[in-house]
Amino acid sequence: MVIYVSGDLGAGKTTLARGLLRGLGYTGRVKSPTFTLVELYKLSRLYLYHFDFYRFKDPRELGEAGFREYFNRDSVCLVEWPERAAAGLPPADVRIVMRVAGSGRDVEIFAETEVGRRCLDRIEL
Ligand SMILES: Nc1ncnc2c1ncn2[C@@H]1O[C@H](COP(=O)(O)OP(=O)(O)OP(=O)(O)O)[C@@H](O)[C@H]1O
Ligand SMILES: [Mg+2]
């Protein structure tokens, strides 16, 4: 499953990823992958890869860095700044767009595939 999280610097993308991991029961530290490009979380039932492509320059690096193999049937890939990796990335199942709104955040969530739609159907708001 592939989740894109878009929004300006400071829109709350990493905070949302942290909340998702907490919701999945991960209690360790969740740091921004700004410098490492990716952080791996091994949860009981899945691998979650948290990417941040803000510093990414050339989409061709994606293959060279071996990141493409992280996108597989057994993983959830949450991607900040997907626009920077552009055509190099598999398409999103779920696309999230975040905006600063006063002291809070507006969040739009779009299902882009059947898998994404099934996921959103189960979110309780
Ligand atoms: N829903 C929210 N409500 C209020 N403040 C928030 C919310 N989400 C994040 N913030 C605050 O906004 C700041 C930036 O958050 P965060 O690092 O998650 O942004 P980001 O979108 O990941 O930025 P970047 O593009 O630099 O990676 C932090 O100080 C965080 O505490
Ligand atoms: Mg971030």
Output the pTM of the full model: 0.94
**Could you tell me the distance, in angstroms and rounded to a whole number, from the CA of residue 11 to the centre of ligand 2?**
8
Measured CA to CA, the distance from residue 40 to residue 58 in angstroms comes to 22
Pocket test for ligand 1, best of 3, 14, 30 (most atoms within 8 A of CB): 14
CATH entry, 2-121, from 1.10.10.60, 3.90.650.10, 3.40.50.300, 3.40.50.720? 3.40.50.300
Helix (H) or strand (E) holding 36: none
Measured CA to CA, the distance from residue 3 to residue 111 in angstroms comes to 10
| pLDDT value, residue 85 | 87
Instruction: Dig out the tokens for 52 from the structure.
Output: 């941040």
| pLDDT value, residue 123 | 84
The neighbouring-strand residues paired with 99 are 106
> Are the beta carbons of 59 and 88 closer than 8 angstroms?
yes
Q: Pick the ligand that lies closest to the CA of residue 96.
A: 1
Using DSSP bridges, classify how beta strands 104-111 and 47-52 pair: parallel, antiparallel or unpaired.
unpaired
| pLDDT value, residue 3 | 98
Domain ranges of the chain: 2-121
Task: Ligand 1, residue 11: give the atom nearest the CA.
Answer: 21
> What is the strand order of the sheet 94-101 is part of?
38-42, 47-52, 75-80, 2-6, 94-101, 104-111
- pLDDT values of the chain reduced to their tens digit, one per residue, 125 residues: 999 999 999 999 999 999 999 999 999 999 999 888 999 999 987 899 999 999 887 777 777 777 888 999 889 999 999 999 877 899 999 999 999 999 999 999 999 999 999 999 998 77
**Could you tell me the distance, in angstroms and rounded to a whole number, from the CA of residue 3 to the centre of ligand 1?**
17
Measured CA to CA, the distance from residue 35 to residue 41 in angstroms comes to 16
